[in-house]
Amino acid sequence: MSQSSLQRVTVLGSTGSVGTSTLDVIGRHPDRYSVHALTAHTSKEALLAQCLAHRPAVAVLDGEADAAWLRQALKRAGQATEVSAGPQALCEVARDASVDCVMAAIVGAAGLLPALAAAEAGKRVLLANKEALVMSGALFMEAVSRSGAILLPIDSEHNAIYQCLPAEHRGGLAKHGVRQLLLTASGGPFRTWSQADINNVTPEQACAHPNWSMGRKISVDSATLMNKGLELIEACWLFDATPEQIQVVVHPQSVIHSMAAYQDGSVIAQLGNPDMRIPIAYGLAWPERIDAGVETLDLFQVARLDFEAPDEIRFPCLGLAREAMRQGGMAPVVLNAANEVAVDAFLQRQLGFTAIGQLVADVLSRPYQGQVDSLDSVLATDQWARQQAFELITR
């Protein structure tokens, strides 16, 4: 493959777990991919190391002081990478005309604007930021349709469903003979714990996921099952499904990543080792397949596959998310914002583990209004919900 035919990739959130896995896959295929831009929030040392290894044209950090530090460090190393700072710079590297593919891996609401910029610019968008669809599903999917962007889900569960569905699956599942989507969940680290023990969970325990290596926020979401609730909302938008068409199945081994059940009784599943490089490689190369650096699943070593229903009494966040999607409108925006504030407070030891779901429920119970008809209205509701959550925590 010639230099001119290399796919140029921007990695938003390159120092996180998905970002580093993306660079691992890219590094295995220098004949196919080159890095245009790398971005991080505040991890300037990690971003410097990535810049030295992958030599991007642009690097972006959140703050100007960190950007100035990185600029000087790269200059001393004799590297010409341009360094920018701030949310606008993130959007610029996402929509840059020379970019073919954007990995949207910034965690939380902060990832919404650059992911939407990539969609509006018609890029191949590898979506690992679920909040983009949770907060602005209608706007995001309209942007994809309008621009002709290629949207490929990177969350292991959504990527699995994508692989199990027909190539064209818009227009409703029933139209394509699909009866139900089965969204698998590991159950998190507290699946077998009693309610009394769950009441005393610490941040360190919540961040120790049994199967996946993830950041602190998403690890807590996995422990509360809010992550699965957000994924349910995301799946509704990605696959044109209703909440009733999606069943969450707790599967502790995390080997079956999700399934699609068809009207003829067939159930198609995607299996693999729990390694994010598999869906990342799928997204980068689709419709082809490339080496992800992951061993083929050894079924003899797995030996057994277990399934159970989620316990929404001990883990109420899943039910809150499902109900928010049923309500529609701004409810998912409020849910997501309140949860981000609650999780941060838990990690700062200002809130107990079981209080996360209660805080989200309390904010959802407050009167709010508005339709997801503009980005400004979404962001305004997001800020309103955060303020409500802050007030409840500090009162």
Of 122-136, 218-232, 281-295, 368-382, give the lowest mean pLDDT range: 368-382
Residue 185 clears pLDDT 70, i.e. is over it: yes
Q: List the domain range (segments joined by +) for residue 40.
A: 3-153
More confident residue, 374 or 289: 289
Residue 120 lies in a domain: yes
Residue 88 clears pLDDT 50, i.e. is over it: yes
User: What is the average pLDDT across 159-181?
Assistant: 91
Q: How much is the pLDDT for 170?
A: 77
Of 3-17, 239-253, 270-284, give the lowest mean pLDDT range: 3-17
Q: How much is the pLDDT for 263?
A: 97
Residue 114 lies in a domain: yes
Residue 229 lies in a domain: no
Residue 1 clears pLDDT 50, i.e. is over it: no
Q: Token pair 């583990």 is at which residue?
A: 353
Instruction: State percent of the chain over pLDDT 70.
Output: 98
Residue 34 lies in a domain: yes
245-277 per-position pLDDT tens digit: 999 999 999 999 999 999 999 999 999 999 999
More confident residue, 372 or 274: 274
CATH, residue 141 = 3.40.50.720
- Spell out the SS3 assignment of the chain: CCHHHCEEEEEECCCCHHHHHHHHHHHCCCCCEEEEEEECCCCHHHHHHHHHHHCCCEEEECCHHHHHHHHHHHHHCCCCCEEEECHHHHHHHHHCCCCCEEEECCCCHHHHHHHHHHHHCCCEEEECCCHHHHHHHHHHHHHHHHHCCEEEECCHHHHHHHHHCCCCCCCCCHHHCEEEEEEEECCCCCCCCCHHHHCCCCHHHHCCCCCCCCCHHHHHHHHHCHHHHHHHHHHHHHCCCCHHHEEEEECCCCCEEEEEEECCCCEEEEECCCCCHHHHHHHHHCCCCCCCCCCCCCHHHHCCCCCECCCCCCCCHHHHHHHHHHHCCCHHHHHHHHHHHHHHHHHCCCCCCCHHHHHHHHHHHCCCCCCCCCHHHHHHHHHHHHHHHHHHHHC
For residue 274 the two structure tokens come to: 């729990």
Q: How much is the pLDDT for 380?
A: 93
User: What is the average pLDDT across 164-193?
Assistant: 91
How many domains are contained in the chain? 1
Residue 37 lies in a domain: yes
User: In sequence order, what are the beta bridge partners of 12?
Assistant: 104
For residues 354 and 312, give the distance between their C-alpha atoms in angstroms, rounded to a whole number. 12
60-71 per-position pLDDT tens digit: 999 999 999 999
For residues 388 and 282, give the distance between their C-alpha atoms in angstroms, rounded to a whole number. 40
Residue 4 clears pLDDT 60, i.e. is over it: no
State the amino acid at position 388 in one-letter form.
Q
User: Per residue in 93-130, is it b (16+ CB within 10 Å) or e — as a string?
Assistant: bbbbeebebbbbbbbbbbbbbbbbbbbbbebbbbbbbb
Q: How much is the pLDDT for 213?
A: 62
Q: How much is the pLDDT for 109?
A: 79
Residue 117 lies in a domain: yes
CA atoms in the 13 A half-sphere facing the CB of 76:
7
User: What is the average pLDDT across 12-31?
Assistant: 97
Mean pLDDT of the chain: 94
Are the beta carbons of 120 and 145 closer than 8 angstroms? no
Label the pairing between strands 33-39 and 101-104. Answer: unpaired
Residue 165 lies in a domain: no
Residue 261 lies in a domain: no
